[in-house]
Amino acid sequence: MYSLKINQPYLLFFFIINLVGLVGCGSSNGLEEDLTITISAMSFSPTALNALAGDTITVINDDTTTHTVTSESSPSLFDNSGTFDTGNISPSGTTTFRIPDSATLGTIYYFYCNQHKSLMSTPNGTITIQN
């Protein structure tokens, strides 16, 4: 009978490589979601993304003018609900913000640019809390 001999140090190496791969996929939620919002030509991209409680979202301002990513109570209310706010991001600037650890599954956070509000091509975006 054919028997497969497994070298234990090799198995350990293989396990570590896989672990590093999981951690390094750019998302702590295992969804392989790119947790980046890019702003260019007065638009958010994407306008809808999924995240986990405690995730860090990166914001890249690829536009020629200052923008923000600010949470709002509901779409187009532009009221800075206080959940998150990047503050002003200069052109070519990058920043991050964190989804609250207390965010519950299924919560939808709406966001907008506090500098341009409805003047944006995409005035609102959403972050949905998923598993």
Partner 1 sequence: MVHQKMKVVLTFFLLLCFSTTSWAADWKDEFVTHLHNGAVYVQDKQGHDLLAHRIHDSFMPASIIKLATTACALKLLGEDFRFTTDFYITPDKTLIVKGYGDPMMTSEELAAIADELQEKGVRQVSGIILDDSYFSPHIVIDGIEHSSNPYDALNDALLANFSTINIRKLRNGRIESAEPQTPLTPLALEMAKKMRVGSGRVNLAHDRLKAVRYFGELLAAFLQKENVTVSNVANNIRLGLVPDNAKLIYQHHSSHNLHDVLLGMLEFSNNFTANQIFLSLGAKVYGPPATVEKGVNVVSKFLREEVGWNHFQIAEGSGLSRRDNVTPFEMMQLVRYLEPYKELFPLKDKDQFRAKTGTLNGVNTFAGFMPVDHDGEVRFVIMINDQVPSLYKFQLAEMLQRGLNGEPLGVIKNPAPRRRSQRVRRH
User: Minimum Å distance from CB 114 to partner 1?
Assistant: 12
Q: Which stretch binds partner 1 (CB under 8 A): 15-23, 31-39, 79-87, 110-118?
A: 110-118
From CA 86, how far away is CA 71, in angstroms rounded? 9
116 binds partner 1 (CB under 8 A): yes
Q: Helix or strand or coil: residue 17? A: helix
Render the burial of 107-116: b for 16+ CB within 10 Å, e for the rest: eebbbbbbeb
- In the numeric block, the tokens 């919002």 are attached to 37
Q: Which stretch binds partner 1 (CB under 8 A): 10-18, 46-54, 58-66, 99-107?
A: 58-66
Nearer to partner 1, 50 or 80 (CB): 80
120 binds partner 1 (CB under 8 A): yes
DSSP 110: E
Positions in the binding site for partner 1 (CB under 8 A): 41-42, 63-66, 91, 115-121
